[in-house]
Homo-oligomer: A and B are copies of this chain.
Amino acid sequence: MLYPIIMAGGSGTRFWPLSRKSRPKQFLSLTGEGPLLSLTAQRVGSLAPLSRTYVVCGKAHAAMARKLLKGMPAKNVLVEPIARNTAPAVGLAAAVVARKDPAGIVMVLPSDQHVRDTAGFRRALQAAAKAAQAGALVTIGIKPGHPETGFGYVQQGKVVMKGALPVHAVRRFVEKPDLKTAKKYLASGDYLWNAGIFVFRADRILEELARHMPETTAPLAAIGKAAGTAAFSKVLAEQFPLMPSISIDYGVMEKASGIAVVPADFGWNDVGSFPALPSVRRLDAHGNVAEGETVLVDVADSVVLGSGKRPLAVIGVSGMVVVDAGDAILVCPKERAQEVRKVVEELGKRGLGEVL
């Protein structure tokens, strides 16, 4: 059986001032179609019922997640007592699933991505699930459309399972490349974007966690044992923090052998920061994303998000990000959007935590 696990623990600052500590990007309607978390749940809706779908998130966001995903049992929102990166989060979900269904297939899905072709996305997951059933740790590799330097890559090897979507062995995972290397990857044809989507049997990932991150073995065993009992919260609060803060990529996937990848192309986009929005939203005739009561005079290739409460007028710029969040405003060129963290730091220093 399939168990979608939606990873909603993120708390980045790259969408400030829209995103806040109390409302990270997975809760924002960045694509204009609804909160990213809701869209992620809808996307896997036909693969598994909400009763078998889980969300892993932080304490501060559990209530919001439960409110958004109304049909999901409240207990399926697994609350991390503290942030510990993705390996412990995946371990937690796998332990909970394995308690009832050790051979259950866990599908780890980031909550902040955009997918244009939902049917293609599901086909890729089903191909991955088939390989996972046989024991493989499987990732989905996105066929790259350009030499992106902002993602890690997966190098595919020979086909290990034939089908409409063949499954390949993974030769290696590589970190974010420089542009020259990214171009080489693109040209080679056997490098894929690592989308952070992983599919494996619950018992298999627990086995590999025990092998490559032995510090997780005892905590995950205790958590699994307590799953479904009244002691669960207490045990989770005690055991979860004992695990090291490491990503599942680094902690397991890059080290384990027998990793497989399903190369796929379903209009995938990481909704990583403001400059990514033009890829996932409707553009005006000049390549702008514009929302709210905006007045654009000779503006091109820009992201202009008004609050809807007051006019936002922009004249004569190109490649800019202008965002009015109602209680804070940001103006910056697209290529410097990552420096918004400096603003967040500075506002923190000034004691203006209410807008962070």
Contacts and interface: CB of A to CB of B under 8 A. Distances in A.
Given A295-B346, A329-B324, A331-B320, A336 B313 contact: no
A315 B297 contact: no
Contacts of A316: 332-333, 336, 339
Contact of A311 (B322, B329, B337): B329
Q: What class of interface size applies to chain A in its complex with B?
A: 35 or more
A164 interface: no
Given A293-B352, A297-B342, A352-B293, A327 B310 contact: yes
A339 B311 contact: no
How many copies of this kind of chain does the complex include? Answer: 2
B342 A311 contact: no
Interface centre among A313, A315, A317, A347 (most CB of B within 10 A): A313
A342 B316 CA distance: 12
B329 A313 contact: yes
Contact of A331 (B314, B339, B340, B347): B314
A312 interface: yes
Given A310-B355, A311-B328, A327-B310, A317 B297 contact: no
A342 B313 CA distance: 10
A58 interface: no
Contact of A343 (B315, B329, B346): B315
Interface centre among A298, A311, A315, A326 (most CB of B within 10 A): A311
Contact of A315 (B311, B312, B315, B339): B339
A297 B343 contact: yes
Given A324-B329, A331-B322, A347-B295, A340 B352 contact: no
Contact of A317 (B293, B313, B331, B347): B331
A126 B316 CA distance: 45
Nearest to A331: B314
Contacts of A315: 330-333, 336-337, 339-340, 342-343
5 contacts: A295-B347, A297-B332, A311-B347, A311-B352, A313-B340
Given A17-B311, A312-B331, A317-B332, 13 more contacts: A293-B352, A297-B332, A310-B326, A310-B355, A311-B328, A311-B347, A312-B328, A312-B329, A314-B331, A315-B331, A315-B336, A315-B339, A331-B331
